[in-house]
Amino acid sequence: MENGAAQPVIVAIDGPSGTGKSSTSKAVAAQLGLSYLDTGAQYRAITWWMVTNGIDIEDPTAIAAVAGKAEIISGTDPADPTITVDGVDVAGPIRTQEVTSKVSAVSAVPEVRARITELQRSIAASAERGIVVEGRDIGTTVLPDADLKIFLTASPEARAARRSGELKGADVNATREALVKRDAADSSRKTSPLAKAGDAVEVDTTELSLTQVIECVVTLVEEKRAGK
């Protein structure tokens, strides 16, 4: 490229809940001047819309029938990621226990996945300097040609301890059970389950600090850019 500008780079970061995808992706994108997309927030946003509009979450046909109705807009600045549904800021409401408990069922519906996947691809394609996209099926389905694919893991105990630290006073065992249950649902759905791409680099974060994970991923991106 002219003026020594770096080529756009597409980084896919997948993994189970609480492995550090969001924290790592945001920091890596900020350090490298890339855009950032939280695809879990998009699935949460469509789930929030279903709940708000009284759609029966137990009924995949009902969900499929309205999968295209909500207008979901994701802001991709890693310093200030935003998400709106039909113009309403839903950054807070999508993190409620109610949405968290229903998001796996909504995101398993193929029509929902087709709609959100299309949105994700269009956002990635328009990121001029490149983007870090995090989720469950980015390396396998959404962006199979990503320049770098990372699959983050951590023990359920480490993930529950991290999450309980966030949710003051939360019971660690209950948090662990909820994480494991959501991972099982996300891994066993028929369409585009949570899975490691064959060419992804697996990083076990159980014994690593967040700073170490960020450094590791930044190094992998830089190596990729240098053609190593």
The residue of the chain with the least Cβ separation from ligand ATP equals 20
Which tokens go with 213? 């994970």
182 binds ligand LCLUPRNS (CB under 6 A): yes
Determine the Cα–Cα distance for residues 4 and 25; give it in Å rounded to an integer.
25
- The answer to whether residue 186 forms part of the interface with ligand LCLUPRNS (CB under 6 A) is yes
Which of ligand ATP, ligand LCLUPRNS, none does residue 19 bind (CB under 5 to 8 Å by kind)? ligand ATP
When asked if residue 17 is in the footprint of ligand LCLUPRNS (CB under 6 A), the reply is yes
Structure token pair of residue 114:
């087709």
Answer yes or no whether residue 102 interacts with ligand ATP by CB under 6 A: no
CA distance 12 to 29: 11
For residue 83, list its beta bridge partners: 74
Which range binds ligand LCLUPRNS by CB under 6 A, 28-36, 80-88, 132-140, 205-213? 132-140
Binding of ligand ATP at residue 22 (CB under 6 A)? yes
Residue 23 contact, options ligand LCLUPRNS, ligand ATP, none, Cβ 5-8 Å cut-off depending on partner type: ligand ATP
First to last CA, the chain: 18
DSSP 3-state assignment of 149?
strand
Tell me how far, at minimum, the Cβ of 223 lies from ligand LCLUPRNS, in Å.
25
Cβ distance 162 to 40 under 8 Å? Answer: no
Angle between helices 39-52 and 97-107 (to 10 degrees): 100
> Site residues for ligand LCLUPRNS, window 88-127 (CB under 6 A)?
103-104, 107
111, with CB counted inside 10 A (0-12, 13-18, 19+), is: middle
Residues that bind ligand LCLUPRNS in the complex, under the rule CB under 6 A = 17, 39-40, 43-44, 103-104, 107, 135-138, 182, 186
